[in-house]
Structure 1
C-alpha cells in the first residue's frame, strides 16, 4: 500500500489538495458578494434575450469580467435559464477553479524543483480567506487566479500557443491582467527565444490576439468603447487620500498568511520586511534556476506599483491575484535558507537530513496553521457554518431585505419604477427593476455628477450626488444613511419630493440604518 502511495505521490497529493479546496468552499456555503449579482444580472439578461446589458435597452459594459459573465450565462442556460441559481452555479464553478489552481501550484513546484514551496503554497491556497471568500462570494477571482497560474504552468512547459490562449482568457476575465501580460510578452519577444531556443510562432500570436480582437471589436461596436465603463466610474465616485491604496497594499503584503491575527497589529511593520526578505531570496533563486519565471515572480510587485500609483479604492478582491506568486516566492526563499543552514558540514549527514526534513514541515504547515486562525467556526450572521471571518456579507443580507420591501411596494405601481442605489448588485438582481446606479458602474449619466463636493462625504469614501437624484427622479432610493447624511438628506428639496418608506436597522459603516425612500406623487 505504502509503495503504491509513493509511486502515485503526485496523483494522491493532487487529489488531496483538490478535495480540500472543494470542501473549504462548500462547507461555508453561499455568502454572495454584492458585485457578483451585477454579473449574474448581465448573465440573466443575456439568457432572456435582452442582450449584453444591465438595464434593458442600455448598452453599457458595467462589468469588468466579460468572460466570467459569458461562462455564467452558458452554465445558466443548462440549469434553468433565466431562473438559474446563479449564486450556486458560481460557488460550484469557483470551487472547481480553486481546486485546479491548488493542483497547478503543486505542478509548478515540481517543475521548478521546489516541492515544499509548491506544496506549502497549494495547501495555503485551499483555505486562504482571500481565496475562499470570493469563491463563495460568487466573484470571478477564482477563475482569474486559475488562469494566471495556468499561464505560468503552460509557459514553463514551453506550450506557447496554449500560453497565448490562456493569456487572452485572463485578459477577458480582468483587464488588470495586462500587468502580467505585458512583461510576459516582452520576455517572449526578446529573451525567451535565446534562453530556450524556441522562436516566436504565429500560432501563439493568433492564440492571443484572435479572441482579444474579437471581443474588443465587439465591445467597441456594441458598447461604443472596448473598456469597461466601471473603471472610469470607480475613479470618479470615490474620494480617497493620495496614498490610501499604498497603505492598504503595504498592510496586505505584510500579512500574506494573516499573521497579524496571531502576532498582533505590530506584525504589519515587521511582516513587510520579513516577507520581503524571503521573497527576494526566492525570486533570485528561481530566476537563476529558470529565467522564464521572472514575469510571474515580479507580478506581485508590478501589481503593487500599478495599484499604488492609480490609487483606486482597494476592494478586498483586488488583493487576491498576486498572492499565489508572492507566497510561492516567500516559501521558496525560506526553503533555500533552511537548506543552506542544515546542509552545511557542521552537522553529520544523518542529523543534517533529519533537521532539513523537520524544517520543511515549517514551510508546508506553519503557514497553514497561521491562516486557519482567520476562520470563524460560528459566524455572527448568516449561515451558521465555519467560514473565513472576512467572508462578511451582512450588508448583502440587509439589501436582500430592502429588495423584498421595494418589490412588494412596486407591485402596486402601474408603470415600471426606477430604483436608485449606490450598491446595486443585490437590489438589481432580486427586484429586476431598472437601476439608476449612483456610483455609475452601469449608469453613464452618473459620471457628470462626480467628483462630488467633499463636504458631502460623511466618513465613508462615497456619497450620493444630490443633483443626480433631482435630475433623474427615480421612484425608489435605497441607501445607507451615511451615503446621504451630509448631502442628499440635508437638502430641503429631498423632503419635498421623497418620503421614507422603510428603515432597516443597521450600523454598517457607522450608518444610522438602511433607508428606503419613495418618490411622492
Structure 2
C-alpha cells in the first residue's frame, strides 16, 4: 500500500524543500525575537565565566578561585568569543540564541523528512519552535544543545560520518549528559548501521567486529570531549563541575521538593487543569507516532533511545527540578508527535479510492494542517504566558540589587547569596554560594540540610537574602550576632525585600547618598592617610537629628582602628551635641580601607531640646580609641596644622548646609 510518506518525493514540486526551509527558518527567527527577554538566573553564571575568560581572568566564576562552576564549557567558550565581538556575554548569547531559534526548525524538518516525510518534518519543526519547555530555556545552553543534537542525527542519517563525529564530539563537550547522544549513535551504528559487505572469513571474530568500527566518526566523537576532560582535570583538579555535586546534594536533601519526572508532572497538571484538556491530544499522537517506528522505521529508535536514557539519567542522579532540563527532550517529543500526525493523515488519506492520488494528498495535507494548527492553538496560551511573565522576578529584581551592591559596597567585599547568576554578574564581587554551586566543599553540608555552612566557613563580608528566606539560618543566634541587618532593598518583582546583612566590621556600604550639587567640596589631609574631599549637613531642629555626611578618600594603608568624632559647638566652643563612632556606624573600620577608595560616612547626632536656634560649627577628626591620640591634619608643606577640623555655618532651626 502506498502511503503519504513514500509519495512525498514523487508528487512534491521542485524547490518545495528550499521553500519550507525558508518559511520554517523565518518562523523560528520570529519566535527568537518573541522570547528574547527570557534570561534565566543560571545563564548569568555562564555569562560571567565567559567574560572572565574573554578578559584574561581565567576560565572561572570567581577570579582567583579555580573551580569549574559552569556545566557547559562549550557554550562558555562560544560566548567568550562572542564577548570580543558584542562587548558582553549576554548580548552574544542573545544573538547566538536568536540564530539558533531560526536554525532549530530547519534541522528538525530535515531530520523528520529523512525519517518519515515532510508532514512529520513540518509538524515537528513547528511544534518544537513553540514548545513551552524549549522556549523557557532560551538563554541557557539549551538551544545550542537541541541544535547540536539534531545536527548529530541529521549528519548520521545523511551518512556524513566525519561531520557526524565532529558534531557528536562538540555536543559531548557542551554538557556532560550530552555524551548520551554519541553513545546512542555510535552504538546503533556499530550494531545496525550500514557497513560494507562482510569479507570472507580471514580472521577472528574480534577482527571482524573491529572492522565494523567507523573510526572517522569515533575519533572526533570521543577525542574532542576527552581533550576537554583532560584539560579540566589539570586546570580544575577534577573533570566534573562543582555544580553537579551541588545539584545532587540539593536533591538528596530534597530542597525544592521536585525531581525530574515529578517536576514534569507538575507542568503537565498545570497545562491540563489550568489551561485545557486538549493537551491530552499530545500523548495520544505521540503513541500513534510510535506505531510506524516499531513496525519499520527503526532509525527513530535513536531519538527515542536518547530521550529514554536522558530521562533515566536525570531521575537516577536525583538532581533537583529545573525548568530548562527538559529542553533536550523536545526534539524527540515534537518529531514523534509530528510522526503521529502523519500517521493519522495517511490513515485518513487511505480512505480515498486507491488511484485517486491527488485526493489522497489533499486529504492528508488537510488533516495534517488541521491537527498541527490545533496543537499550536493548544500551546499558544502556555507559551504566551511564559513570554508575558519575562523578564521574571529574578531578572527584574536581582540586576537592581546587583547595581546597588556594586555602587554602594567595597569592591573587595565577599558576598554570600543563594541565586548567584544576576547578582554575581552585576555586582562583580567575589561570590560565596550558600547552596554550593561555586564552592565544592559546601555540597555535602547541603545534603544534610546545613544551609549555614557556607556563611560560617567563608565568613563573607555581606550576606544577601530575602526577608523570609532560610529562617533556619536567619533565626540562629550566631547569625544574628555576626550579621546584623544593614539595609533593605525593595525591588520590582518582589513582594518581600532583599535584606543586606554585613559583618560588624570590614564591610563598606555607602548607604547615604547626597546630590553632588549639595556637597561642600574640601581638601583636608589627615596625616597623608585620609583626605576629606567633601561634606554635607542635613537640616536640623532643636530636639531633632543632624546627619553629618563626610566623603573620605583613603590615601595609604591604615593600620590604626580610628574612631571619628563629630562635635557641634557654639561660638564659645561649648559642645552642644556630640557623636563618636567608627566609620559607617561601626561597620567599616579604617584598617579595611584600601588606598584610593572613596568612603561615604554618615553620622547621626541628636540635638537637644534646649539647644537654641542659631549658627554653630562642627568639629571633626579621628582618634585612637585605646589612647585617645588624634590623627594630625597637615598643611600643604606636610607640617602639623591641627588635630581637628572646624567646619563653620551649621544652622540649627534653619535649612540644610
Normalised to the residue count of structure 2, the TM-score between the two structures is 0.67
1:129 aligns with 2:127: no
Deviation at 1:346, TM superposition (A): 7.6
Deviates more, 1:441-450 or 1:149-158: 441-450
Match of 2:264 among 246, 249, 255: 249
What is the CA-CA distance between 1:328 and the residue it aligns to?
0.9
Q: Out of 351, 362, 377, which is 2:370 matched to?
A: 362
**Partner of residue 101, structure 1:** 104
SS of residue in 1 equivalent to 2:264: helix
Match of 1:68 in 2: 75
Q: Which residue of 2 aligns with 1:450?
A: 446
Match status 1:502 vs 2:459: no
Does structure 1 retain, via aligned residues, the 8 Å contact 2:260–2:311?
Answer: no
Q: Please say if 1:441 is aligned against 2:432.
A: no
User: Take 2:413 and 2:492, find their aligned partners in 1: how far apart are those partners?
Assistant: 28
Return the alpha-carbon distance in structure 1 between the equivalents of residues 121 and 131 of structure 2.
Answer: 15
What are the Cα deviations for residues 208-236 of structure 1, in whole angstroms up to 9, with x where unaligned?
12211211100011111111111011111
Deviations 1:55-104 (A, max 9, x none): 1121111111000000000111223xxxx232121111011112111111
**1:30/1:88 contact within 8 Å kept:** no
Give the C-alpha shift of residue 283 in structure 1: 3.0
**Cα distance change of structure 1 residues 100 and 479 upon mapping to structure 2, 3 Å threshold:** same
Q: Residue 387 of structure 2 corresponds to which residue in structure 1?
A: 388
**Superposition deviation, residue 448 in structure 1:** 4.3
Secondary structure, aligned partner of 1:436 = strand
Unaligned runs of 5+ in 1: 380-386, 454-463
Alignment root-mean-square deviation, CA: 2.9
Structure 2 residue 117 is matched with structure 1 residue 114:
yes
Structure 2 residue aligned with 1:458: none
Distance in 2 between residues matched to 1:132 and 1:482, nearest whole Å: 31
d(CA) in 2 for partners of 1:161, 1:215: 20
Q: Provide the C-alpha distance between the structure 2 equivalents of 1:117 and 1:162, rounded to a whole number of angstroms.
A: 24
The CA deviation at 1:249 is 2.9
Q: Which residue of 1 aligns with 2:144?
A: 143
- Greater Rg by CA: 2
Does the CA contact (< 8 Å) of 2:488 and 2:499 recur in 1? yes
- Structure 2: gaps (5+ residues): 1-11, 199-210, 506-657
Task: Specify the alignment match of 1:408 in structure 2.
Answer: 407
The answer on 1:469 being equivalent to 2:470 is no
Say how many residue pairs are matched.
479
- Under a length normalisation based on structure 1, what TM-score does the superposition of the two structures give? 0.84
Aligned to 2:23: 16
Q: Are positions 1:231 and 2:238 aligned together?
A: no
| Alpha-carbon distance in 1 for matches of 2:216, 2:95 | 33
Instruction: Report deviation, 1:175.
Output: 1.2
* Change in 2 beyond 3 A, CA 1:233/1:517: same
* Residue 176 (structure 1) shift: 1.3
| 1:234-271 alpha-carbon deviations (Å, 9 max, x no partner) | 1113532897432223455789xx5656415xx67xx3
How far did 1:447 drift?
Answer: 2.4
Are the aligned partners of 2:131 and 2:330 in contact in 1 as well (CA < 8 Å)?
no
Show the counterpart of 2:464: 478
Bigger shift: residues 48-57 or 188-197: 188-197
More helix by share: 1
Give the match for residue 589 of structure 2.
none
- Report if the CA contact (8 A) 2:116-2:297 is conserved: no
Indicate yes or no: 2:422 matched with 1:426: yes
Give the alignment partner of residue 203 of structure 1, picking from 200, 203, 216: 216
- Equivalent residue for 2:159? 158
* Aligned 8 A contact 1:40 1:429 in 2: yes
Which structure has more RCO (C-alpha within 8 Å, separation ≥ 6)? 1
Partner residue of 1:382? none
Alignment of structure 1 residues 287-366 onto 2, 5 Å: 288-344=295-351, 349=356, 353-366=361-374
Any residues of structure 2 matched to 1:46-61 within 5 Å, and which?
46-61=53-68
| Contact 1:237–1:440 (CA under 8 A) maintained in structure 2 | no
Distance 2:485 2:125 in 1: 51
User: Cα 1:195–1:113, aligned 2, differ >3 Å: closer, same or farther?
Assistant: farther
